[in-house]
Amino acid sequence: MSLNLSYVDYRIRQRDYLLSITRAIVSRLNLRAVLRLILQASVDMLQGQSGLIALSGPDGEFAFSASYGLPPALVEAFNPLLEEIPEYDEVEEFSIPDMAERLSAIAEETGLLLRQVVALPMIVLAVAGGDKTHEFLGIIFIFRSHSLRFSPDDRQVLASFADYAAIAVNNARFYEAAVTERRRLDALLESSADGVLVLRPDLSIERLNRALSSLTGWSAQDAIGLYHDEVIVWAGQVAKPQRAVVQSKLRLEDAMEEGWPHREERTLYVEGDLRRRNGSFVSVGITYAPLLGRSGRLLNIIGIVRDITRFREADVLKDTFISVVSHELKTPVAIIKGYAETLLNPKARRNPMLVDEMLEVIADESDRLARLVDDLLDASRLQAGGLPFRDVEDVDLRGIIRRVVDRYQPQTQIHTLHIDFPESFPTIRGDPQRLEQVLDNLVSNAIKYSPHGGEIYIKGEAVPAEVILSVGDQGVGIPLEEQERIFDRFYRVENPETRATSGTGLGLYLTRAIIQAHGGRCWVHSTPGQGATFYVALPCETGLALWQG
């Protein structure tokens, strides 16, 4: 059996080798180190001097991955051994044609003493869909410098080492695939625009991705390990009255008490306002999905957290639109209907003064309706891309202001409107009707929002390249935090003094759009309780091209 070892010694050594190889595989030594160990053991057990292991690459080609007892620089010279390896069905059929000839050519080229060679395939059994297949992972070669041929027993011994080598290679491949898969998953989670939350079965946080960190204000470092509702904090109440709080009744714990996820519906959707770490709120919808093990045991709960602020805003806007429109339409329609019905009564028509008065009210209310419809149409056009301009010409703003003041002064006894313009005031290029719409809105607001009356100043100032108009009143004013929002669509300030004032919240939205289309700006200064001054700046050489194109 062996040249200088007793059979028992030989078996013991073989067993020791196999044991240390098993340990190396289990303790996850790197693949190269395990292959070298296997080669060393095989060479020793087979009384050889050197050996090589070739592995098959993704393209099916073989390449040497480990060597023992050979100068590394010469390994390449052994490549002819890997050429044209025939297909085979049984391990016993495996052979490399003309191996002896190939070996002597290599020996000649390298000057190495290589007399005998044995080669065995490294094979693992793969079970896929009930079918067993053999996977050919590589080849192990052992060389002798003396001429004693390798016996069938030697092949047998080598086969056990080849099996171990195949297992090590296979493990390494699985490990590599798992690492790649994990990296891919990490990249996917981290780059996801939606928040991702992974919970352990006890509902503590296992991980959260970058999107969820920025949504909640919790870094992964701080959040991991916390109980989920320390980070996912549903707002019971929100301080701001304008904000509708949606709190779905179903909390994760409640759902789990009711048996989720061991029920038909696997995912759970929870929606509401989430309190961020800094105390602010964000509307989110969370879809929870369980990750169950094979036995049905809960391994993880994955939560996908989506910022639904935009949907909620769109919802609120839609509701506002409906309530504004129905409210604003109701009053003039009721007045027109009431007066018209009165006029249908021949008795009421006997007093011509009364008839005139009623007809005037009907005409005024019809104008109000027409304005409302115009504003709504303008707002929808603006949403769709832009406001149409009718004429573009040189406009004398003073003429427009005079007309607006003449229209409003007779309607109020408690306000006094003043016009204050310098002697010479430049004309600007613009659409006179749109500019009148702006001033009409600013002056009517100044009156509407100073319910106790007062002075209203409409001033003009020419500075280089710009004219600045201002409309100042002594009314209720606007809190600082609302001063930007009043230019939003449908936005109206909650103020007990002006709650009854009619309005759509579209006037300033359209005002800003018209001024911006003229290449200008508008803003407000206000001290609540003392009044507000709205400013409009328009370029003198207005960017005509801006809105003719």
Which residues of the chain form contacts with ligand ADP (CB under 6 A)? 441, 445-446, 449, 473, 475-478, 486, 491-493, 503-509, 532
Q: Which is nearer to ligand ADP, 475 or 519 (CB)?
A: 475
List all residues 6 or more positions away from 317 whose beta carbon is below 8 Å from its beta carbon. 489, 490
Nearest of 505, 529, 371 to residue 451 by alpha carbon: 529
**Chain CA centroid to CA 518, Å:** 36
Q: Which is nearer to ligand ADP, 335 or 478 (CB)?
A: 478
Q: Which is nearer to ligand ADP, 43 or 438 (CB)?
A: 438
List all residues 6 or more positions away from 379 whose beta carbon is below 8 Å from its beta carbon. 489, 506, 509, 510
| Per-residue H/E/C for 455-466 | EEEEEEEEECCE
Burial class (CB in 10 A: 0-12, 13-18, 19+), 27: exposed
Dihedral sign computed on CA atoms, order 139, 144, 150, 153: negative
Angle, in degrees to the nearest 10, between helices 309-344 and 352-384: 160
Sheet holding 454-463, edge to edge: 415-420, 454-463, 466-472, 531-539, 521-527
Distance of closest approach, residue 472 Cβ to ligand ADP, in angstroms: 9
Q: Which is nearer to ligand ADP, 213 or 504 (CB)?
A: 504
Q: Which is nearer to ligand ADP, 155 or 368 (CB)?
A: 368
Distance of closest approach, residue 492 Cβ to ligand ADP, in angstroms: 3
Distance of closest approach, residue 463 Cβ to ligand ADP, in angstroms: 23
As given in the structure block, the two tokens for residue 381 are: 């056009």
Q: Which is nearer to ligand ADP, 49 or 511 (CB)?
A: 511
Distance of closest approach, residue 531 Cβ to ligand ADP, in angstroms: 7
The span from the CA of 402 to the CA of 414, in Å, is 19
Distance of closest approach, residue 346 Cβ to ligand ADP, in angstroms: 39
Distance of closest approach, residue 341 Cβ to ligand ADP, in angstroms: 28
For residue 72, cis peptide bond before it (omega within 30 degrees of 0): no
Distance of closest approach, residue 310 Cβ to ligand ADP, in angstroms: 22
Distance of closest approach, residue 179 Cβ to ligand ADP, in angstroms: 59
Q: Which is nearer to ligand ADP, 94 or 408 (CB)?
A: 408
The span from the CA of 511 to the CA of 522, in Å, is 8
Q: Which is nearer to ligand ADP, 290 or 477 (CB)?
A: 477
